[in-house]
Amino acid sequence: MAFEIDADVVSERKESDQAKPRTEILQVKPVGPPVPHAGSTAKSDAVATYTVGSYLAARFSQIGLKHHFVVAGDYTLVLLDQLLANKELKQVYCSNELNCGFSAEGYARANGAAAAVVTFSVGALSAFDAIGGAYAENLPVILVSGAPNTNDRAADHLLHHTLGTHDFTYQLEMAKKITCAAVSITFAAEAPEKIDYAIRTALREKKPAYIEIACNISAAPCAAPGPVSSIIGEEASDPHTLAAAVDAAVEFLRRKAKPVLLIGSKLRAAGAEKQAIELAEALGCSVAVMAAAKSFFPEDHPQFVGIYWGEISSPSTQALVDWSDCVVCIGTLFNDYSTVGWTAQPTGPGVLTADQNHVSMEGHEFGRIHLRDFLSALALRVQKRDATMVEFARIRTVPTRETSAEPDAKLTRSELVRQIRPMVVANTTILAETGDSWFNGMALKLPGGARFEIEMQWGHIGWSVPAAFGYALGAPDRQVIALIGDGAFQLTAQEVAQMIRLKLPVIIFLMNNHGYTIEVEIHDGPYNNVKNWDYAGLINVFNAEDGKGRGLRATNGGELSKAIKIARANRDGPTLIECILDRDDCTSDLISWGHLVAKANGRPPKPQ
């Protein structure tokens, strides 16, 4: 692109800024008054003059963002200058727009919200894939796209980076389908209202939003931002409905002897993790967690009974859920994957569902209630119901002690997981990629404080590399460990270079089993073979003249334990450990799950 600035030069200007450690994650918090902005010549006693870009930057800063993810392009360059001028925000460069979107998605997981800025169409359409992911995963990522100059819209002009037609609205129309709010700004005066609407809706709904800004509008003056409370407030629960829902739930639970709580992935989006613990402790019953919600209820809590995932649940967990007469589903999401091909979904009169803004049980339906309020209020009213804990004590199996493999024996998946286990401590965050890494990740027992991230609803292979990059920036005090397969890594490998650039000590375990093993188990064919790469060697390519990334290869347990030591010591950049595994060396869970999902996928059409 003839008019693009050199991203490296921009990066140098800003990379000296140090990210401050976060003390609390996952909640967007209001921060101070609007900060100084680009182009402002305001004296201390004058009303500051804002531009569309500096307004956006101020709002980003106010909602707690310290970073925004960027791929430059000539429709965004002026906007990027406006954003750069805000000293509270660090501009972070990505290798491509898909990765940019996923980096922001990972940042939102750590920080509560995120922003990505890309150019028109060639950039935005790639980013849309990751934005679809943010929608599916309930993460408020604000995607900003530069757009054609307003003067070209009325004129008979064809523009680059477009379909080559006079329609410049298609991108906005597409964005409307995959965001909760999509706006196009073509007049500076309308920018404050439109920006606020998009950000407010994203934060409230925990879904992505889209803001398109015409390239000749970003530096145009506009009004100053008001107090942040106008964009971060949540709608309060309706008190009458809340009281009625709690009454109904108390009565519902009174008639059940053996309740169990089932925690789902929407619990975090609702910001109700603490309140779920309150209800669990008030009831004293067992708590099972769905795979996509791993770590959303502490695994070291005495009432935690394991992961509920149908046939491949933790030992005794499915039996316990089946035995109970009442499943309180909190923020749950049932799809073909989480129900193991529709073989495990709690249904019927024993189910109470408490969702982000909605509660239902047999004969009752309540809306406009916040999950947090419902769980807390219910916790104060319920009686102890510990039958499922008593039963769990009877049926639980004691885990057998694992034995380590001989140091020079060929590396196996189980030896790999055995060696990863002790790495997981209170400040660890595991990102488990779609593939056998899901099942390897489930096998890791999390101590208090450890977090687990998985993209199970969208399931885009390659997500974990950029998401780990974004997460590490959003939570600099945590040790990020990504588990990823060879096939997935090939989609987004470039983002390791950005981890090197920003010296992030992410540890990546790359399971090289020479193919799409999960797909092999679902339905095999030649399309599941992957061209081998020298994955460990790739890190040197990314390091170039100044990087401190490490690339190591382990073919046996001895090499793996040495590599892990090196990885832990490397604080100046990422370490990728390529683990050489047999093509068929996968978890038995993957085989069982793959078989049942394939069966569900393969159902013939019903006769009309």
Residues lying near Mg ion in the complex (CB under 5 A): 485-487, 513, 517
> Which lies closer to ligand DPX via its Cβ, residue 273 or residue 436?
436
Comparing CB distances to Mg ion, the nearer of 376 and 517 is: 517
Largest CA distance in the chain: 77
**Residue among 247 and 585 whose Cβ is closer to Mg ion:** 585
Question: CB within 8 A of 524, min separation 6: which ones?
Answer: none
Kindly indicate which of the ranges 36-44, 87-95, 329-337, 511-519 contains the residues binding ligand DPX, using the contact rule CB under 6 A.
Answer: 511-519
Query: What is the dihedral angle through the alpha carbons of 483, 132, 522, 451, rounded to the nearest 10 degrees?
Result: 30
Is 434 a binding residue for ligand DPX by CB under 6 A? The answer is yes
Rounded Cα distance, 540 and 547, in Å: 8
Q: Considering beta carbons, is residue 351 or 420 the nearer one to ligand DPX?
A: 420
Judged by beta carbon distances under 5 to 8 A according to partner kind, the member of ligand DPX, Mg ion, none in contact with residue 519 is ligand DPX
In whole angstroms, give the CA distance from residue 183 to residue 200.
12
CA distance 203 to 507: 31
Of 445, 599, 435, the C-alpha closest to 518 is 435
Select the residue interacting with ligand DPX from 305, 481, 518, 576 (CB under 6 A).
Answer: 518
Residues 483-502 interacting with ligand DPX (rule: CB under 6 A): 485-488
CB of 590 to ligand DPX, least distance (A): 8
Residue nearest to Mg ion (CB): 485
Options 91, 316, 517, 575; binder of ligand DPX; rule CB under 6 A: 517
Please name the residues in contact with 551: beta carbons below 8 A apart, sequence gap of 6 or more: 535, 536, 537, 538, 539, 540, 575, 576, 578
DSSP one-letter code for 606: P
Q: Quote the CA–CA distance of 596 and 602 in Å, as a whole number.
A: 10
549 closest CA partner among 533, 561, 537, 559: 537
Choosing from 350, 435, 466, 557, the residue that interacts with ligand DPX (CB under 6 A) is 435
CB 287 within 8 A of CB 304: yes
Among 258, 460, 478, 501, contact with ligand DPX (rule: CB under 6 A): 460
Residue with smaller CB distance to ligand DPX, 377 or 484: 484
Q: Which does 502 bind (CB under 5 to 8 A by kind): Mg ion, ligand DPX, none?
A: none
SS3 category, 233: coil
Positions in 42-101 near ligand DPX (CB under 6 A): none
Q: Binding segment for ligand DPX among 20-28, 361-369, 508-516, 561-569 (CB under 6 A)?
A: 508-516
By CB under 6 A, how many residues form the interface with ligand DPX?
A: 17
> Are 493 and 469 a contacting pair, CB within 8 Å?
no
Our CA angle for 107, 109, 115, nearest 5°, is 40
Nearest-angstrom CA–CA distance, 93 and 91 = 7
Compare residues 318 and 492 and give the one whose CB is closer to ligand DPX: 492
Stretch that binds ligand DPX, among 6-14, 498-506, 517-525, 598-606 (CB under 6 A): 517-525
Segment near ligand DPX (CB under 6 A); pick from 136-144, 312-320, 393-401, 480-488: 480-488
- Residues of this chain that interact with ligand DPX (CB under 6 A) are 434-436, 459-461, 485-488, 511, 513, 515-519
